[in-house]
Structure 1
Amino acid sequence: MRHVHAFRDDALGEFDAVGVARRIASGEVSAREVLDASLARLDAVNPQLNAVAVDDRDRAVARADGSFGGVFAGVPSAVKNNTAFAGIATRNGSAATPDVKASENEPFADQLVETGLNMIGATTTPAYGLTATTEFVDRDPTRNPWDTDFSSGASSGGAAALVASGVLPIAHANDGGGSIRIPAAACGLVGFKPTRGRTAPAEMAKSLPIDLVSNGVVTRSVRDSAAFLADVERRHPAAGMPAIGDVQGPGDKRLRIALVNAPITGGLLDRDTDKAVNGTVELLESLGHRVTTVPLPVDRSFIDDFSDYWALMAFGIDRLGRFTIGKGFDNSQIDPFTRGLSNRFARRFYRTPLAIRGLHKGTAAFRSLFDDFDVVLSPTLAHVTPEIGVLSPAGDFDEVFAKLVDYVSFTPANNVSGTPAVSLPLAQTSTGLPIGIHFSADLGDERTLLELSYELEAARPFARIQSA
């Protein structure tokens, strides 16, 4: 195991984002001291992790001596490099995207800043967020701080690596097929995907027939995820949804939980993941919750429908990039995986109306679980995070795509349906790598997931990389 972390006795310590913000507010430390600690940690570990797409420390230092509002006032963080943040080029992990600085924030970037976070730069993401590992064809991969031979997940892999290694207590992530939850599972973090529309939509996907993408954060504690959602909600209550409120601990209600432990592919979980799920069931039942094993109500046609729709996004980049990405887009720099996914769409474009219809049907089927259950439990992924290279975008497209389908079997249903979900680091492999356990609730019911997450965090405290 090759651990890489930067936890030390400095202004950040081992505090979560809420804890750091409270220290700043009390005067125990200053925002500048906290930022200096974060940057020193970054310099110590980023050469091994490669998690930073754009280093914007000079502007962060200039901001640190000013005033901040919000629940995380003065806490250092970073924006994912697929989201427009004024003064940073939104490169989307690809040399095909022009190196042109954004002139203004997109709406979710404003929501991040309103919580008081001080952005030190932008984190890495694989080309256009289309795969489940933060690897590239033209630069070094982003590595997992728990073991640098392994993937940090994706597409928010840089964010997860920086939070898990202690550089940042919280970082922006977004999720179109599992991209908050997958890297959280790989790196031992809390990865909460809100209900579609709970936070400001991602500019890259909001005009599509089905907006798969939800914006959020990755954190080391449940209370940071809860505090983030509460602070955003205070300023931007989501129309037509029940309020989440300021959730600060477990709920009293004992839940009816549906266990889905069979991948939609028909494959099997690996031994460590299966053991982790069974251990979580035992924990839940010991806490008084009722767990019932059920089949996933979505049939295997969902795989083709989702894959065809996902390929539509690659086609829009590959063939229409000068319009969808903008002036200066260089198609010759498209990576093999994005090109392969685009070609898949070109071969199957006629299925698009059928795919969209199938996804709507799948949404109805998935949400029918909540007629009888409060929460759906599954593993976040069908097997533990792979080694670097297994899902390389430079590999044979058909082989890599088949591996991705097997790996990412559980998370996409929440993107299509828009329902909230969370990955919690409740288990580890026999070699000490994190394993994420996944919980879903119906539209607008983030509160139930947060209350359950608090309870599980207290009952089985999350493993810390600095203690491994």
Structure 2
Amino acid sequence: MNFEEFRSRDGVGLAHLLASNAVSPLELMRIAIDAAVRFNKRTNMMSYADFEGAPDRASRHQIVPGKFSGLPFLLKDSALASVDLPLSLGSSLFKGSRAQSDSTLATRFRRAGFISFARSTVPEMCMAPTTEARRNGGPTRNPFDLERSSGRSSAGAAVAVACGIVPIAHGSDGGGSIRTPASCCGVFGLKPTRGRVPMGPFKGEGWGGLASDGVISRTVRDTARALDLIGGFERGAPYACPEGSGFEAALGTPFEQPLRIALWQDPWGLPVGSHLS
């Protein structure tokens, strides 16, 4: 498989190829790493990378059908604890910080089959409407127009997905940090409702319950399957969502009324890109 073939498929499609042994996790990891190196030079979307350890983990990965088993993945450089990668929250103060154990969500990402090989960029402390930090050497640029904004704190993840480095990446959202970069970069971003995705065990909530973790993807079905795999009650959490039949299963449910989509063509804030460089 070459990069264009890799980029043409979403996560569900690549998972099907992995499950049928048409490609291997190591093959996909090598493609993703090569793409990350190339696109990062132009967009500055990556803050940490494990280009040595990740291929080894990929070569040892056991495929589990029905998941995203063996798929390359990016973790946001937020406070999500993972033993696989250091973090900084976009700040030189926390540069190189390492977690002693995984957060519940990092464990669920791993059980879903994702193989994390890098952290995506964020603004300092994830607290700005644009993703730019001195720690990261400047702004994370929109891949469609390098002079335009890539959005809020999950912008590194959105840029990586838009470039085709990975089909799905971790994001988080308090005041628009999944939704804004997704809009700027032309990908799909959904903020999960409070309690849908676990935030423990080291904390119970963020921003008084306003913030939540999730993913950014190129297709609705990728996000639906991801939420099925990472969502669900966490013991000790202050909030919980009702369980249903599953988001991926719900995609086959017909609409009772015609679908209407609003399109806002005149941005009131930062300009977004229009050309893929």
TM range (shorter): 0.7 to 0.9
Structure 1 residue 33 corresponds to structure 2 residue 27: yes
Deviations 1:73-93 (A, max 9, x none): 001011001111114222000
Q: Which amino acid aligns with 2:53?
A: R
Cα distance in 1 between the residues matched to 2:222 and 2:202: 26
Cα distance in 2 between the residues matched to 1:236 and 1:26: 32
Paired residue for 1:254? 256
Shift of 1:56: 1.1
Cα distance 1:290–1:380, how it changes in 2: closer, same or farther (>3 A)? Answer: closer
Cα distance in 2 between the residues matched to 1:72 and 1:9: 20
Match of 1:200 among 188, 191, 198: 198
Deviations 1:258-289 (A, max 9, x none): xxxxxxxxxxxxxxxxxxxxxxxxxxxxxx35
Moved over 6 A (4+): 202-205, 234-238
Question: How many residues are treated as equivalent by the alignment?
Answer: 268
User: 3-state DSSP class of the match of 1:57?
Assistant: coil
Cα distance in 1 between the residues matched to 2:168 and 2:270: 21
Cα distance 1:137–1:209, how it changes in 2: closer, same or farther (>3 A)? Answer: closer
Cα distance 1:200–1:381, how it changes in 2: closer, same or farther (>3 A)? Answer: farther
Q: Counterparts of 1:13-412 in structure 2 under 5 Å?
A: 13-66=7-60, 67-69=62-64, 71-82=67-78, 83-138=80-135, 139-201=137-199, 206-207=204-205, 210-233=208-231, 239-245=240-246, 246-247=248-249, 249=251, 251-255=253-257, 288-289=258-259, 383=268, 385-386=270-271
Paired residue for 2:274? 432
User: 3-state DSSP class of the match of 2:68?
Assistant: coil
User: 3-state DSSP class of the match of 1:193?
Assistant: coil
Cα distance in 1 between the residues matched to 2:171 and 2:70: 19
Residue identity over aligned pairs, in percent, reads: 31
Shift of 1:384: 6.0
Cα distance 1:167–1:240, how it changes in 2: closer, same or farther (>3 A)? Answer: closer
Moved more, 178-187 or 239-248: 239-248
Q: What stretches of structure 2 of length at least 5 have no aligned partner?
A: none
Cα distance 1:137–1:9, how it changes in 2: closer, same or farther (>3 A)? Answer: closer
Paired residue for 1:439? none
Shift of 1:195: 1.1
Q: Which amino acid aligns with 2:72?
A: P
The normalised TM-score by structure 2 is 0.86
Cα distance in 2 between the residues matched to 1:203 and 1:131: 26
Cα distance in 2 between the residues matched to 1:290 and 1:217: 24
Cα distance in 1 between the residues matched to 2:205 and 2:253: 37
Cα distance in 2 between the residues matched to 1:160 and 1:380: 20
User: Is this contact kept in 1: 2:233–2:240, CA < 8 A?
Assistant: no
The normalised TM-score by structure 1 is 0.52
User: 3-state DSSP class of the match of 1:247?
Assistant: helix
User: 3-state DSSP class of the match of 2:157?
Assistant: helix
The structure richer in helix per residue is 1
Q: Which amino acid aligns with 1:85?
A: S
What is the Cα-based RMSD across aligned positions, in Å? 2.9
